[in-house]
Structures are given as structure tokens and as C-alpha cells.
Structure 1
């Protein structure tokens, strides 16, 4: 049996006086750590409270409290007239103690001790910058979000006794009241003919794509996307084991003829489209092509996954209704969200589909997110019922329209010799195609030095294409002017 003098307690226990954790807990937790790792092995005799207090330079009562904590958790035992010992019930293995290393006791391991598959497929080129200005790929301005209205509604929901049931488990499809009001909203704004039974709520567009992919795709399935397409959706499809086949996109949207030719030679399981404003080029899928795609989906039996991420923002005329509004055969799975209408941090999305598919999606949803935030959904449902969200979208639409027009004018004024673009009819971004001799990555780095961030995800440069997707929604008019000035300065260096 070892003498307590032989145990290097000053190395085992490191006390941080700036830490908010009480000192006695710091001592007990680090000693538990030492026991678990075999540094303090089973049967080791510990110093008396007075001796350990002197070693650690703390008050004796602190050590007494630490020992009481260790005793209560079963790590040590007090033997009358003999002393304090690491309990025989300890899981530590005295025959094979780990090599002593003080850092080992207080640091979390940097790498897992077991093998697992790391996915390069899911790597996402997200770059975080401290620059004051940033062009996004089409994010809204969170400063416009109706937080006072939402806070009032949410607070009211929390205070009502009859809403306490929302704090318990409920329907996996989401808050029933919210889904009913959302169905009314979608029927009125998108020409759908649905009820709450046709909706399951999600945490945004990406979760909707993921749930649909996990349920509807299997390894080897063919998914058709536009060239170019939304990179996150592509990653999700590939993670599900699907093969991605791209088809051209022109000024009227995705090529129906290319889809038809594929169907004649391959079995297509799914077509993924962002028809209102194609990502990233912002073109609108024509009404004629929408009907042709619906007919093809029935003829060849493929699913249409319709991602309508920014339907709420259109400036020149009424938006073209989604494919889901003209789908009598049940071939369209419609995905949308309020993340852009309100704010990205308010993760509120939804999937619209036939009831039997919603039921099955609910089973998948239960695994990763039992039911969502029922309280927040209740508040959003009440805001929809009162027309607050509709009024906010109408006001925000005017602001974004002005910002689009300003960026459009500035780009034409300062960059006419460098790029070509068409004014998008809606959405929160402008697709710009630049001269091929311009190195967009170099331009991005130069802009960053001037406090303007151009994320890598906005840059599309190949041998045939040199383009940028410039989101204006998050910038006010003054910020747009400054950002364009920096861009102009950087390109002329």
C-alpha cells in the first residue's frame, strides 16, 4: 500500500482561483479524474484533510468538503483508525495504471480513440470573417425582423396556463394550430389546396431536404439537378447514396428537353428544382416548363422536390405559382420556410405533401427532432392569424425592392465593362457573370483587406464560367454603396 507522501497531489490537482466552480469541487473532480485514469489506483491511501490542505494551500474545510463529495459518490472510503483510501469498488485498475501526465488529467482528448468514417462529402466551405460588410448568397436583414411582435406573442404564449400542454410531447408533425394557420397562409399566397394534415414542420429548408432524401432516396438512385445547383442539397443527396445528374439551365429555367432525354435512357427517382428563383442564377422557371415537368413526372414516375426558398420576395409582378399548386397526381414534395421572411436564426420551415407521406416523414422527424419548438410555432401561428407576418413581408418586400434597384444601378454604373447580368424579378441576390480574365478569388482577398467579405460560396469560376452571386438583402442602402465602392476599388488595383 502506497504512502500518501508518494502521490504528487500538487500535480494531480490544479486549482484555478478565477474559475467559477467552487474549489472543493475542483479538487474532488480532479481526484475522480485521477482515480478513473489509474493515477490514484484502487486501495491508495490519501492524506489526511489537514495534510492535503497544506499541500494544496487551501483551508482544511475545503478539503473536508472535497472528501465528503468523493465519499458521497463512492470514490473513497473512510476506515476507522486507518485513514482514507480509494475505494475497492473503484473502476480503476491498479495492475495497469496509465502513465502519469498532469495535463492528461485536465484536458479533453483532441481525437477519438476509435475509428470512424470521416466525410469529405459533407465538408462545407464556410468562411467566417470579422469584416464589417459582407455579400451573402441571399440572406435577409435581421434588423428588419419583427422581433417586438414575436417577443410579445411568445411571451403571451408562455404566460397562458392553457398552453402548458405545449411543454410536453405532442404531434411529431408540429404544432397543430400553427400548421392549420400555415395551411391557410399557403393556400392564400401560393394557390395550394391543403390542410394541416398535409404539413410537417422542420427547422428550415435544409432539414426538409434531408428528411425527404432520407425517406425517398436509396443508394444508386438518380437525382436530376440544374447546372448550377444548390450545393447543400447536392451534398445531402450524395450522402443518401444517390447519383447526381445535372442538366442545363437557361433563361426559362431548367431544361425540360434534357430531363425528357434522361428519362428515356435512365430511371430517374427525383428532380430537385428551385423554380421561383433558381439557385444560384435567380432565373424563374416558366409556366410552360412547369406544366411540362409535371406531365413528365407522371409519365416517368419521378418525384419533384420543389424548394421554394424565397417565394415571398417578388418585385415586378405577381409570382408564378409553385408546381405544387397544379399537382393532381401527388408527385410534388414542396419545401419552404420563414427563415428568409423573418430571420435565419428563427428556424421555422415546413414540408407540404400528401398525407400518407407526411405521416411517414413524421417517423423520420421523430428520430432527430421529436416535435420542434411547439411554443414558438404557437406564437408564429398567432402572428399568421393576426396578419402580422403578412404585413411584415409586405413592408420588407418594399425595402428589398429598393435595395435591389440600388445595387442594380451601381453595378451597371461602375462595372459595365467587367460583367453582365439581368435584373432578377425577385429574391435577395443578383447573379453576375464576369469577364473570364478576372480572378474572383484574388478579388475576394483584395476586398477582404478593405473590410468587405466575399465568401467562397458566392464564387463560381471554371474554365467556362466566371460568376458571383451577390446577396443584397442583409445590407442597407448605405452599406450597399460602401460595398460597391470597395469592390470597384479592388477590381481596379
Structure 2
């Protein structure tokens, strides 16, 4: 038997729950092949006695491992390591005339149709807008952030941040995020591996500009985050699409494309795939990492809503399993706190981060050092963790209510799976209806559905769009569903 008593280490001094510590150590044992596929795990009582934890902690750990796809329970036989976990290859970490209104220029310039997306620029008070999953700005901890910002601004030593600074971002925030992300996301990074950005979109832009030469291939989902598609097309990439099912991106399809094309990168939102909300399975995570190693492509991992999970603990990002420097990991604090605070990060091997920092100088020069310093303090004093716990509870309640209302009032017209996390639903319209027609009639009920076409660029005819729930309180959720129902009833007339 494996000496669990000596190899499992529980640290009760850190904030991470014991069952998560135990879960992550089992994942390491499985990845290292100390626990090979189909290896039998000890019973919960046996393991709890061996390592000195409560049996319920072991049960919670096994449940988490099962949800993530690392183990499986076979009735009357026991609990076993999943038989289909691929071997993870290991290597060290290395990332005309001018009009009177001046509407028309007197010179030529490039107009790129790739950038033509009709996002709403103005919002009317009487209208409700379908969003694809955004936080509620009314929950922003403005008071706490204001106090920290004011206190920092009044200190003399802060004056040094008022001048031009490093393109890598505020040094204190980089140090803070290294510790925070290593602890909460299982990363193994240093300050050299992180660049502060103005949100994850900036990270994707910098990465794509450095990764892609003209007409090189990047793989994305058949359904994918439309802004990511635009970013890659703007970098003159050729997009190859693979299907997305209940287990996320089809990595077998990715492998077949790798055999045919020279793939430069794969873009993925593995925690909650955008837009469908599905999670990339453990088997496919390992398979994708192995493919990146074999075919030497980058994995651009956009972990846009890691903090929002309701049914189980957040699944560790691909970057936490990367041992050979293939993953570029981007994320942000904007989604968690409020979109107006443009603070994000790009994490990769040092050489890639260094090159991103050079390019950033000619895009944005530097970020807001005082705001970055504010968020460093906000994280260190525990305020971010407290805010996350608060909003996760609220968003879970809003998810449950929104799903309940949709099922009660609109089940004849649409269907959906309740998402395990995130801030949006993937809603499939009954085949007797079209979003084109729904959009036009909805506007008469002061309900705006914009850019619904972006969810089916491949004309797969899945008849689905993404609808956010997190920003609507109970009254707003009921009003939204009421307007939606009235829209559908009008169509039926």
C-alpha cells in the first residue's frame, strides 16, 4: 500500500480548506503515476485514520475528485483512479470631401471589417439588455477600495509611482498576485512570470500579436468567445474550429488537426467554456497539455470567471499542471470586483512575459500604478476573499431564481442546463422559433438582444445564445422573464 501517512501533508495554518489540500495532493499523485489508472483508493474510514482527518473530509475530497473526473466509484468494488487519465509528460518550467460635420476624414486609413460588432454603446433606462454574464456593479466594495486608495495616495513614498514606471506593472501587486495565485490556483510561478494588464482582453491581444504570423493556425471551439475570435483574426490568424461537447473542447479533434496543420496555439476557457458554460474534463486537460508538448503549440488559457463556482470547488487551471512552459494564462480582477477596475494579468514563461512587456510599452506604456497598489492591499488584507464569498452566495441565489423562473414561465420555448458556475446560462431556443424573430419582437417589449449571431459563426444551427443572470436582482429577474414571456406569446399569436 502507498504510505499515505507519510506522503500526505496537511497544513492547518493556511486558509485553504483541508479537503482541497487533500484533493490537490491526490491529483499530484495521479499525475505523477504514483497512483496509476485503475489504482484502488483506500476507503474513507481507512484513509481518515491513516492521515488523521475527519472521515467527512475524506468523503468531500473523493466527491471533488469524482466531480473533476480524476476518480470513479464502482458499486460494491470501491473507488478507483479513472482508467482514461493520459500520462502527463514532464519537463521543467521555462511565457472624398470632408463633410461640414467632420464625419468623413480627408485622408485614407484602414477600416477592418473584423472589428465590426454592434455592441450597445448607450443604454436607455426603460430597456433591459441581455448580457453574456457580467458582475453586478452595485455590489462593488467601493467604500473599502476608496479608503485604501485615499490612504495610499496620501503617503509620501507613493510619489515614486506618480512618474513613468515599469511596463510589467506595479511591483507590489506582482508580488501579491504571485503569492495569491500560487495559493488559490495551484500555480508555481515567480515575479518573473507575471505581467499586469488592463484586463484579460489586453493579455489576449498582446499574446496573439506575439504568437501569430500572417495566416498561421489557431484552434478555437466551434462555439467560442467572439471577442477572442476577433482578436485572433485581427492578428491575421486562420481559425480552425473543433466541436465542444459536455466535456469541453474535443481534444481528439485537436490531435487530428495537429497531424494535418502546423498549429500555433489553442485557445480555451476550460473552467466554464465561453459561451456554453461546460467544463473541460480532467482527461482532456491532460491530453491537451500532452499535445502542446508534442506539437509545440501554445495553450492560451482564458480563466475569465475562476472565482464563480457553486456546485464544487474551482477546478485548478491548466497552468497549474503545465510543466513545460506551453500555457499562457490570462485572467482579471475586473470580473470579480467590477469591470471599471481594469486590472488583469498574463502569466507565462519569463521569456514570453519579457517580450509582452516590450510590446505593452507601445500599446499602453503602463497601467495605473496607484490603482494596482490599491488592489495589492485589497488582496493582502483579505478584502478580495471576503468580497468573493459575498458575491458567490448572491450570484448562486440569483442563478437558482433565474433558472426556476425560466423553467416555470418559458419551458415551452427554450431549454438549458443549470451551470455549475459562472454568471450566465447557455439557452437553446425551441426549433420552431428563431432568435432573429425573437430579437425583433423583444425590442417592442423593451428587451434588447444584441449580437445573437456571434454565438453561431459556423452556422451550426444550434439555436442557442448566452444569457447572463448575475447582474439582475430578484425584481429585475422577474421583469426580464416577464418581458421574454410576453415576447414569445406575441410571436405565437
TM range (shorter): 0.7 to 0.9
Say if 2:321 is the partner of 1:326: yes
Give the structure 1 partner of residue 17 of structure 2: none
Return the alpha-carbon distance in structure 2 between the equivalents of residues 391 and 206 of structure 1.
26
User: How many equivalent pairs are there?
Assistant: 390
The structural deviation recorded for 1:183 is 1.2
- CA deviations 1:41-63 (Å, max 9, x no partner) are xxxxxxxxxxxxxxxxxxxxxxx
Give the structure 2 partner of residue 467 of structure 1: 464
From 407, 416, 434, the equivalent of 1:412 is 407
SS of 1:492 mapped into structure 2? helix
Say if 2:265 is the partner of 1:270: yes
The structural deviation recorded for 1:463 is 6.3
Give the structure 2 partner of residue 478 of structure 1: 475
Q: Structure 1: which 5+ residue stretches go unaligned?
A: 1-102
Give the structure 2 partner of residue 314 of structure 1: 309
SS of 1:193 mapped into structure 2? coil
From 396, 404, 426, the equivalent of 2:391 is 396
From 103, 114, 118, the equivalent of 1:121 is 114
Give the structure 2 partner of residue 111 of structure 1: 104
Return the alpha-carbon distance in structure 2 between the equivalents of residues 108 and 198 of structure 1.
49
- Asked if the contact 2:285/2:318 (under 8 Å) is kept, the reply is yes
Give the structure 1 partner of residue 176 of structure 2: 181
TM-score, scaled relative to structure 2: 0.77
TM-score, scaled relative to structure 1: 0.77
Q: Bigger CA drift: 280-289 or 410-419?
A: 410-419
Give the structure 2 partner of residue 383 of structure 1: 378
Say if 2:483 is the partner of 1:490: no
The structural deviation recorded for 1:489 is 1.2
From 347, 357, 363, the equivalent of 2:358 is 363
- Asked if the contact 2:275/2:455 (under 8 Å) is kept, the reply is no
Say if 2:296 is the partner of 1:301: yes
The structural deviation recorded for 1:156 is 1.0
- CA deviations 1:234-287 (Å, max 9, x no partner) are 111111111000000000000011000001111100000011111110101011
The structural deviation recorded for 1:488 is 0.9
Structure 1 or 2, whichever has the larger Rg, is 1
Return the alpha-carbon distance in structure 1 between the equivalents of residues 455 and 299 of structure 2.
26
SS of 2:263 mapped into structure 1? coil
- Asked if the contact 1:137/1:458 (under 8 Å) is kept, the reply is no
Distance 1:459 1:296, change over 3 A: closer
Return the alpha-carbon distance in structure 2 between the equivalents of residues 441 and 403 of structure 1.
27
Q: CA RMSD in A?
A: 1.7
- Asked if the contact 1:178/1:377 (under 8 Å) is kept, the reply is yes
Written as runs of structure 1 = structure 2, the 5 A alignment for 1:83-122 is: 109-122=102-115
The structural deviation recorded for 1:108 is 5.8
SS of 2:305 mapped into structure 1? coil
- CA deviations 1:129-156 (Å, max 9, x no partner) are 4144222100100000101111111111
